[in-house]
Structure 1
Amino acid sequence: MKAFRGRLPHCAVSGVVVATCLLAAAGTACAQVAPPYATLLRQSADAPRLALSEAEIRRAEGLSEQARARPNPSVSLMTENVTGSSPYRGFDRAETTLQYNHTLELGGKRGARIEAGEAGVTASKARDQDARAAYAYDLALAYAAAEAADSRNALAQDEVEEGEADLGAARALVDAGKEARLRALQAETSLNEAKAALHLANANRIAAFARLSALTGSQTPFASLAQSVLDLGAKTPAVGPVDPLASPYYLAAQAEREAANRRLKAEQRRAVPDVTASIGVRRLEYDNATALLGSLSLPLPIFDRNRGNIAASRAEADAAQARLAMAQNDARAEAQASAAQFHAAMARVTAALGAQATADETYRLARIAYEAGKSSIIELLAARHGLAITRGGVLDARLAAFEARARLARLTGSTISGDPIQ
């Protein structure tokens, strides 16, 4: 049975289970089929998480553009020696000055500011690439979780159907006088437990599909899958050696460290005083004359030397360096752990498949023996319970292998199929 295919309950399922399925179908009347993983990843380019990351890039680009701006000049108009006491009672002795003032940035402020802005854009793009890798990873896990929940729901349905058949066989033997009524009650109890497990599996399936829909930002909830990502992960060639220093997470931390160092340099340059140059023309009414004037002004760095901002930026740079070291250690550990977990999970899948084959045969033989009156209902129920455990074990092992492969793909900045993330 493929987990991504829909399955309707057989007529043998009891009315309570049918009612549960009908309620679930009514709740998803407007639901849709989730496209294949690669298609869904492309279609969810405007998902809220990715939209947030793109907005951060635009913010950094705006700040970088603003960093190139030069100080605005100013123009002043001033009139002196007017409307006072004699001889300045009127405007005959007025002195009117029109002046142009411009601040000259010294110490390489503008260049350092531009470098900091460009480094901020680079860092935001690196964070965006890491965010896209993280989103592709989370989407793969959500897709796989929905598929696993669908499979568990189908296995629970199988359990109910097999329980119905076992109960029918037990009642037939009781009616024929070959089995005590207690055995039928035991089979009925086992069936009720299977029905309760089906209710839980159906609720978990609804929750898994709801989480997948929310992650992609889909307004219409998904109700089924068009592809099995567990099969896709098993068919994809194993990921080769992973370079931890090429992972998007490490590269983003490296870009953040560089941007922090550039901001520190810009703050240090801000401590250098700027010069304001002025040039103007003055009209002397009493002399009927015009004169030029010019001036230079330089602030005295007595009180404000930008020490607080420099200290804060230096601490930020130190923190970015520490985060880079942490990212390097985490990437190396994650690469080693994920590779080991993937190989272990693949071995676990092989063992689980062998155990399931044995459990299938055990249940088949137990069913034949019980119907022939050569074994008890306890042995049959135990065989069926063992089969359910091994089926779940196979699904757990496949899911663990997929998660390990997805973590390796995230470290390489690619999807589970090996395609680079755009």
Structure 2
Amino acid sequence: MFKGICFQGKPDARRGRKKIKLATAAAAILLATSTGAFSQGMTQRPVAGSNASADVAAPVAPLSLARAIELALEGNPEMAAATRQFEATEGQVLQGRTRPNPELAYSLEDARSKTRTQSWQLNLPVELGGKRAARTKAAEKSREQAQAQLDELKATVRANVAAAYFDVLTAQERLALARDSVALAKSSTDAVAKRVAAGKVSPVEESKARVAEAGIRVELSQAASEERNALSRLFALLGKIEAPFTALEGKAENIPAVPQLADLQPLISSSPAIVLARIEVDRRKALTDLEQSKRVPDVTVSVGMQRSNETQRNVLLFGVSVPLPVFDRNEGNLLEALKLEDKARDELQVATVRLHSEVAQARERLATIASEIQALQQDVLPGAKSAYDAATIGFENGKFNFLEVLDAQRTYFTAKAQYLKALGEAHRAAADVDRLLGGTTASRLIATQN
């Protein structure tokens, strides 16, 4: 902090020692003051009403895949709408359990006061044939169907979030690769410019280097745009307009293991699509039973009182009315319900066959991409990197021209981009398996990512 203390003239020893002591004390005071101020600035916490620290935002923790799925299930608009649909089916169950309302009837005979007769009557419908139980069961099946649809949507949201999450990680890796490419292109351009200045290579080589650098900068801009779009898609699934998280946990290289097809086949029977189709069959069967119960006519029991002004007497009334199923026996509605029940069974069979095929295709796609990734990791990338390093060293020593270096660089970064693309496809294939099977392997994705 102090370069030295200079004395002019030739003071005596006592006066020199006094000045040295004063300077030493001043230096100690300044050092202590600056150290205390620095430590106070590092340890001071913001107080209420302080404007100096009000603008300092707390750092946002990186977003994990598990947290992203949790936020999506909480804030996704489609999930909110499906939840409201499920809650609405509770009204169907409540309405199905209700009994028919009684009816109060009043009649007047003869408008003349002396001979007037008035009647008050209470009509009570009585449902027969198990209509109320069949109606309640059909409503409960509709509620189960809404719950199955909600579960299917949850599986779809989880799969979409997982795919979008790893798309962001892959885009970030691609952006980092593009930045490295720009840095290497810049260094190569500088090296060529120096050799041109030294007269070792033609100026044409420098022009080629600058053109290549400009092309790589365009790729950098495209990679940055792709990363922003991937973040936008991810946070749209979370129900967020703006991106509250600036970093994600995990790496794109962490891909899930490829499951065996024999392990996936038993899970198809409990997948959301199959469960939903099976519940539709049960619901159609309940609606058929409801239409069958409507073929039994209901009975209306009537109780009342009649008052005659002429006789001045009250008469008790009691009656029973039964509709005669002569013309309308509900045959048309019953036939429709039976055919729709058969259709639901056919759709269940179609869904089962289709899901077996889709799961097998998704698993095969994942296995193929995993093999491609392994080949790229073990053979292609190391070889391309070694060739690029050798070409760079040879160019620096004057053994290779710049075109050979540029070709080796392009080969390496193309292989790296192919590797990142394969990683993204692998995560999407794994997400498809999760979506088809209802998230049965989502825990593997999360465990692998974390």
Deviation digits for residues 344-401 of structure 1, max 9, x if unmatched?
A: 2222111111211111111111111111111111111111111111111221222232
User: RMSD in angstroms over aligned alpha carbons?
Assistant: 2.5
Cα distance in 2, alignment partners of residues 308 and 232 from structure 1: 59
C-alpha distance in 1 between matches for 2:58 and 2:226: 19
Aligned position for 1:93: 115
> Is residue 30–residue 220 contact of structure 1 (8 Å, CA) maintained in 2?
no
Name the CA distance, whole Å, in 2 between partners of 1:102 and 1:205.
Answer: 69
Matched, 1:291 2:319: no
Residues 419/165 of structure 1: CA separation in 2 closer, same or farther (3 Å cut): closer
Q: 1:168 to 1:308 in 2, by over 3 A?
A: farther
SS at 2:252's partner residue? Answer: helix
Structure-1 residue corresponding to 2:107 = 78
Moved more, 174-183 or 43-52: 43-52
Q: 1:221: which partner in 2?
A: 243
Number of aligned positions between the proteins: 384
Q: Distance in 1 between matches of 2:172 and 2:279?
A: 41
Is the 1:352–1:397 contact (alpha carbons within 8 Å) kept by the matching residues of 2? no
State how far apart, in whole Å, the 1-side matches of 2:326 and 2:209 are.
91
In the other structure, the counterpart of 2:157 is 135
Report the equivalent of 1:4: none
The aligned counterpart of 1:168 is 190
> What secondary structure is seen at the aligned counterpart in 2 of 1:417?
helix
What does residue 404 of structure 1 align with? 429
Q: How far has the Cα of 1:311 moved from its partner?
A: 4.3
8 A contact 1:34–1:40 mirrored in 2: no
Match for residue 348 of structure 1? 372
List runs of 5+ in structure 2 lacking aligned partners. Answer: 1-56
Q: 1:143 to 1:33 in 2, by over 3 A?
A: farther
**1:31/1:222 contact within 8 Å kept:** no
1:207 equivalenced with 2:229 (yes/no): yes
Secondary structure of 1:272's counterpart equals coil
- 8 Å CA contact 1:33–1:222 kept in 2: the answer is no
Q: In the superposition, relative to structure 1, how do residues 352 and 222 fare at CA in structure 2: closer, same or farther (>3 Å)? A: farther
Structure 1 position 34, deviation (Å): 6.0
Structure 1 length as normaliser, TM-score?
0.84
Which secondary structure state, in structure 1, belongs to the residue aligned with residue 442 of structure 2? coil
Structural mapping, 1:369-380, within 5 Å: 369-380=394-405
Question: Using a 3 Å threshold, how does the CA distance of structure 1 residues 123 and 80 change in structure 2: closer, same or farther?
Answer: same
Cα 1:59–1:229 shift into 2, 3 Å: farther
Distance, in Å, in 1 between the alignment partners of 2:339 and 2:204 is: 75
Out of 254, 269, 272, which is 1:248 matched to? 272
Q: 1:42 aligns with which of 56, 63, 70?
A: 70
Query: For 1:201 and 1:419, how far apart are their aligned partners in 2?
Result: 26
Whether the aligned pair in 2 keeps the contact of 1:80 and 1:96 (CA below 8 Å) is yes
Are 2:446 and 1:414 equivalent residues in the alignment? no
Which blocks of at least 5 consecutive residues in structure 1 are unaligned?
1-28, 83-87
Aligned counterpart, 1:327: 351
Q: Deviations over 1:187-214 (max 9, x none)?
A: 1111111111111111111111111111
CA-to-aligned-CA distance 1:185-243 (integer Å, 9 cap, x gap) = 11111111111111111111111111111111024325533312635544x68577112
Q: Which amino acid letter does the alignment assign opposite residue 431 of structure 2?
A: A
Q: Give the share of equivalent positions with the same residue, in percent.
A: 27
What is the rounded CA distance, in whole Å, between the counterparts of 2:124 and 2:110 in structure 1? 26
Cα 1:229–1:69 change in 2 (3 A) is farther
Report the secondary structure of 1:179's partner residue. coil
With over 3 angstroms needed to count, the CA separation of the structure-2 counterparts of 1:247 and 1:383, relative to structure 1, is: same
Deviation at 1:72, TM superposition (A): 0.6
Residue 262 (structure 1) aligned with residue 290 (structure 2): no
How far residue 127 of structure 1 moved from its aligned partner, in angstroms, is: 1.7
Q: How many angstroms apart in 2 are the aligned matches of 1:412 and 1:54? A: 17
Q: Distance in 2 between matches of 1:229 and 1:173?
A: 40
Counterpart Cα distance in 2 of 1:220 and 1:33: 16
- Rounded to whole Å, the distance in 2 between the matches of 1:419 and 1:68 is 44
Q: Deviations along 1:315-367, whole A, 9 cap, x unmatched?
A: 43233223211210122112322332222222211111121111111111111
Residue 302 of structure 1: how far off its partner (Å): 5.1
- Please report the TM-score for the alignment, with normalisation by the length of structure 2: 0.79
Which moves more between the two structures, 158-167 or 306-315? 306-315
1:63 aligns with 2:92: yes
Give 1 or 2 for the bigger CA radius of gyration. 2
- Residues 73 and 154 of structure 2 are in contact (CA less than 8 Å); yes or no, is this contact kept in structure 1? no
